[in-house]
């Protein structure tokens, strides 16, 4: 088998079937991808297994489509005739089944397509296999787009050509990953892989791998008997470039600043200008896709994205630099993705969080490229801080704390001065959040102190309140509860002065609830959690709603309101699925560990606890310190009840589960537990606040009246009422009254 056909068996099978069923098949793909070798192999196969006469016609040397017919005359070995050459060709091809393999049609379009259409009409038994960088656009044409080699085929090709260059080369378990990485960087393009392997004797494997950023200069040692355009990688790409009109060349080179995939809006933002309007970018992009210079990636939602292969991107950037446009186009790219990030930042606190998170996922490479571009961009310090702050919620939700911390630390360290001091205060606070969630509490405290000082100097009260709220949590984690209470109470007091911005105060209030829960003040914790939840629900902040719901589930566990625990866990899990929050699901698993322990399902409690700890650590995050302190006695009790060996067996079972399997096990368990009674819950004692609510309800007071009499919110009354009904298995106000009479808490007389 020719070397270029490594990994092409599926392509051969599919194309053979297409040739059997259709008269005109086109193999379309970028230069160097192996179209010619594949077409040659298919021609040989058709000759061997059918009665077709096969003629291979190489068109690359032709400079005008009018030369196609003389080339056909030569390929068919027709005698000199007085008749028009095209008539002689038609006559020859009518004489039985023929297969014409027309190689390299792209530079002769559209004229060559007209010739092909005439041949098909004149010779009913003729089949044509064409190769081109773009489709012929003829009726009945079946287009087969040829991509790069799969990893296995690419590695096999590299190894084969490397041995040809250096007989000592061998593929080993130690170097296979490096070879695979080289092949991936070269997009699996056979020409690039062959040229790279030829450099192996001079550079060695790691030397080649490290120098691929300069691939256009590096890969220039093709065999002398190859066509001129295939002797170097640059020559192959210049051939494709030469087939573009000026506007198409401009759009193509500007798209070189894209990292990863991009959408049409991004393409128009970077490529359009006064001479190339946004509508013209659409036309140029369509041509680039047709000519196999840009890859189209259909999305599940019906939209499409685009991508330049990495080799194409390097080539486009080279032309961009030659045109003197790189700085300006990178600045356009930065501005587009900065605006996208800031739009996302606002949307990530609303009901469209899920859709925006998915959008940022698709643009992550471009977002990071925009961050890097701030180093050299005009006003780069200010724009870098804006970008870093805008992406903070994205990094948290996607559990990319290390990457997010790197981005924001680099933005803070960038030399120069920002125009808006509030942005630095916000960035300091956001950097501290990254540290805090990774368990680096002392370092986070220092950053939060800087954020508070900076925020006070520039009058950024929302930053001050949120930073103080998070500093209070850090102090809880550092076991300085006195300082934590003082910090959090001050933050809650300052929050009253915020005009229309409730989120910072809700964060401080929620962390004060954490302190109350840690100190065993469960009623106070519940009221604060509920107040924070109400703010987040009203604002449509789904992620914050999920966090508050998890907190309420833990607090309900503390007061033995087990039906509420399950209800909250399910509600939180639904939001986690909406946002695809991996860490959020693991917090629900921690809730289930506590619930299982209270239900005396000891084995499941240990399994959930072990799995949640391991998988949380794998995300680069630590368990909430308050949850850890709250759950520890329950899990200790579960381990003692099981005994050492059974508990270790449960640990082993949990360790064997990957993330998806562990979450599925949790879902099944949560759905299966219909009976939420246990010795602990059957004997549950009402708290003083619950008893007071019960007495007032028994006397006939409605929720609003109870709230007024007790000086609490109606939402809090509803929560207390539902919780006491769950505990006592009561279903309505009449049963509440009967129970109060029975207990002597209410005398109807």
Domain holding 20: CATH number? 3.40.50.300
Question: What is residue 674's predicted lDDT score, i.e. its pLDDT?
Answer: 72
Question: What is residue 652's predicted lDDT score, i.e. its pLDDT?
Answer: 95
Are 677 and 695 contained in the same domain?
no
CB-facing half-sphere around the CA of 723: CA atoms within 13 A: 29
* CA-angle at 713, arms to 708 and 715, nearest 5°: 130
Among 196, 215, 234, which residue terminates a domain?
234
| 358-362 LR contacts (CB < 8 Å, sep 24+) | 358/580, 360/391, 360/394, 361/398, 362/261, 362/263, 362/299, 362/305
Question: What is residue 682's predicted lDDT score, i.e. its pLDDT?
Answer: 47
Among 234, 264, 289, which residue terminates a domain?
234
Are 91 and 158 contained in the same domain?
no
Is residue 314 in a domain? Answer: no
List the end-to-end C-alpha distance of the chain, in Å, as a whole number: 101
pLDDT beyond 90 at 481: yes
Q: Total domain count for the chain? A: 4
Are 42 and 70 contained in the same domain?
yes
Question: What is residue 714's predicted lDDT score, i.e. its pLDDT?
Answer: 83
Who has greater pLDDT, 331 or 235? 331
Q: Measured between alpha carbons, how far is 734 from 621 in angstroms, rounded to an integer?
A: 48
pLDDT beyond 60 at 225: no
**CATH number of the domain to which 734 belongs:** 1.10.10.10
The burial class, CB within 10 Å (0-12 / 13-18 / 19+), for 21 is exposed
pLDDT beyond 70 at 213: yes
Pick from 25-29, 468-472, 697-701: least confident = 697-701
Are 549 and 665 contained in the same domain?
yes
As a whole number, mean pLDDT of residues 147-172 equals 92
Q: What is the DSSP string of 270-339?
A: HH--SSS-HHHHHHHHHHHHHTTSSEEEE-TTS-EEEE--HHHHHHHHHHHHHTT-HHHHHHHHHHHHHH
Domain housing 87: 3-145
Are 654 and 619 contained in the same domain?
yes
Who has greater pLDDT, 103 or 227? 103
Among 200, 234, 268, which residue terminates a domain?
234
Question: What is residue 733's predicted lDDT score, i.e. its pLDDT?
Answer: 85
Question: What is residue 229's predicted lDDT score, i.e. its pLDDT?
Answer: 56
Are 159 and 135 contained in the same domain?
no
Other C-beta atoms within 10 Å of 227: how many? 15
Question: What is residue 50's predicted lDDT score, i.e. its pLDDT?
Answer: 80
Q: Measured between alpha carbons, how far is 106 from 113 in angstroms, rounded to an integer?
A: 10
* DSSP character at residue 125: T
Are 645 and 703 contained in the same domain?
no
As a whole number, mean pLDDT of residues 112-117 equals 96
Residue owning tokens 């040229």 = 195
Is residue 732 in a domain? Answer: yes
Are 547 and 677 contained in the same domain?
yes
- Confidence band (pLDDT; 50, 70, 90) for 662? very high
Are 159 and 109 contained in the same domain?
no
From residue 534, give the alpha-carbon distance in Å to each of 530, 538, 704: 6, 6, 17
**Residues 745/691, Cβ–Cβ less than 8 Å:** yes
pLDDT tens-digit series, residues 263-275: 999 999 999 999 9
pLDDT beyond 90 at 198: no
Is residue 420 in a domain? Answer: no
- Which residue(s) pair with 127 in the sheet? 99
Average pLDDT of the residues of the chain: 91
Is residue 322 in a domain? Answer: no
Q: Measured between alpha carbons, how far is 325 from 241 in angstroms, rounded to an integer?
A: 18
Are 15 and 63 contained in the same domain?
yes
Is residue 298 in a domain? Answer: no
From residue 524, give the alpha-carbon distance in Å to each of 518, 520, 527, 555: 11, 9, 5, 10
Question: What is residue 729's predicted lDDT score, i.e. its pLDDT?
Answer: 75
Is residue 347 in a domain? Answer: no
Is residue 323 in a domain? Answer: no
Count, residues in the chain? 749
Is residue 337 in a domain? Answer: no
Are 15 and 137 contained in the same domain?
yes
Are 670 and 696 contained in the same domain?
no
Q: Assign residue 84 a region: left if phi > 0, alpha if psi is -120 to 50, beta otherwise?
A: beta
């Amino acid at each position: 088998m020719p070397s270029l056909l490594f990994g092409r068996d599926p392509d051969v099978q599919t194309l053979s079937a297409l040739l059997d069923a259709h008269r005109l098949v086109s193999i379309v793909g970028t230069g160097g991808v192996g179209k010619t070798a594949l077409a040659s192999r298919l021609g040989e196969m058709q000759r061997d297994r059918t009665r077709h006469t096969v003629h291979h016609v190489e068109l690359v040397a032709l400079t005008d489509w009018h030369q196609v017919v003389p080339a056909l005359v030569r390929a068919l070995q027709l005698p000199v005739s007085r008749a028009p050459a095209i008539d002689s060709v038609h006559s020859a091809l009518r004489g039985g089944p023929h297969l014409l393999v027309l190689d390299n049609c792209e530079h002769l379009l559209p004229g060559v397509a007209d010739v092909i259409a005439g041949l098909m009409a004149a010779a009913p038994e003729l089949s044509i296999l064409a190769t081109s960088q773009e489709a012929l656009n003829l009726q009945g044409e079946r287009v087969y787009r040829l991509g790069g080699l799969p990893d296995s085929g690419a590695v096999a090709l590299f190894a084969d050509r490397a041995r040809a260059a250096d007989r000592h080369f061998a593929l080993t378990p130690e170097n296979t990953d490096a070879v695979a990485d080289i092949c991936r960087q070269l997009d699996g393009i056979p020409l690039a892989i062959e040229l790279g392997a030829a450099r192996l004797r001079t550079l060695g494997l790691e030397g080649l791998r490290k120098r691929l950023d300069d691939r256009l200069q590096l890969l220039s040692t093709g065999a002398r008997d190859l066509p001129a355009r295939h002797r170097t990688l640059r020559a192959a790409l210049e051939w494709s470039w030469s087939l573009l009109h000026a506007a198409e060349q401009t759009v193509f080179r500007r798209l070189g600043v894209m990292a990863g995939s991009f959408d049409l809006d991004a393409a128009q933002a970077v490529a359009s200008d006064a001479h190339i309007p946004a509508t013209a970018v659409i036309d140029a992009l369509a041509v680039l896709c047709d000519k196999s210079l840009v890859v189209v990636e259909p999305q599940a939602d019906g939209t499409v994205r685009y991508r330049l292969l990495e080799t194409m991107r390097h080539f486009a950037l080279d032309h961009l630099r030659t045109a003197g446009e790189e700085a300006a186009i990178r600045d356009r790219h930065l501005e587009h993705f900065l605006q996208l990030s800031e739009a996302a930042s606002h949307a990530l606190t609303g009901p469209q969080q899920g859709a925006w998170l998915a959008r940022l996922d698709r643009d992550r490479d471009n977002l990071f490229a925009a961050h890097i571009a701030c180093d050299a961009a005009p006003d780069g310090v200010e724009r870098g801080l804006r970008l870093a702050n805008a992406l903070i919620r994205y990094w948290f939700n996607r559990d990319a704390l290390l990457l997010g911390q790197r981005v924001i630390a680099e933005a803070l360290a960038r030399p120069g001065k920002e125009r808006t001091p509030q942005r630095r205060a916000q960035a300091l606070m956001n950097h501290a959040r990254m540290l805090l969630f990774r368990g680096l509490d002392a370092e986070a405290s220092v950053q939060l102190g800087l954020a508070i000082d900076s925020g006070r100097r520039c009058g950024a009260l929302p930053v001050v309140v949120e930073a103080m709220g998070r500093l209070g949590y850090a102090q809880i984690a550092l076991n300085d509860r006195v300082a934590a209470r003082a910090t959090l109470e001050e933050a809650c007091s300052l929050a009253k002065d915020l005009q229309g911005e409730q989120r910072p105060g809700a964060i401080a209030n929620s962390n004060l609830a954490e302190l109350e829960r840690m100190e065993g003040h469960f009623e106070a914790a519940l009221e604060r959690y509920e107040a924070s939840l109400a703010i987040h629900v009203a604002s449509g902040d789904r992620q914050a709603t999920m966090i508050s719901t998890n907190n309420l589930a833990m607090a309900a566990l503390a007061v033995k309101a087990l039906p509420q625990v399950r209800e909250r866990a399910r509600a939180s899990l639904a939001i986690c699925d909406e946002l695809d929050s991996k860490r959020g699901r693991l917090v629900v698993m921690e809730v289930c560990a506590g619930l299982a322990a209270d239900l005396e399902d000891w084995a499941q409690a240990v399994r959930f606890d072990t799995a949640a700890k391991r998988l949380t650590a794998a995300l680069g995050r630590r368990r909430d310190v308050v949850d850890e302190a709250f759950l520890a006695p329950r899990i200790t009790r579960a381990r003692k009840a099981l005994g050492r060996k059974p508990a270790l067996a449960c640990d082993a079972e949990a360790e064997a589960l990957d993330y998806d399997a562990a979450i599925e096990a949790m879902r099944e368990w949560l759905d299966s537990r219909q009976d939420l009674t246990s010795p602990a819950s059957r004997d549950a004692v009402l708290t003083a606040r619950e008893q007071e609510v019960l007495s007032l309800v028994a006397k006939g007071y409605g929720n609003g009246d109870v709230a007024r009499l007790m000086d609490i919110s109606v939402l809090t009354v509803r929560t207390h009422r539902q919780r006491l009904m769950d505990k006592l298995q009561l279903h309505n106000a009449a049963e509440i009254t009967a129970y109060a009479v029975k207990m002597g808490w209410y005398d109807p007389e």
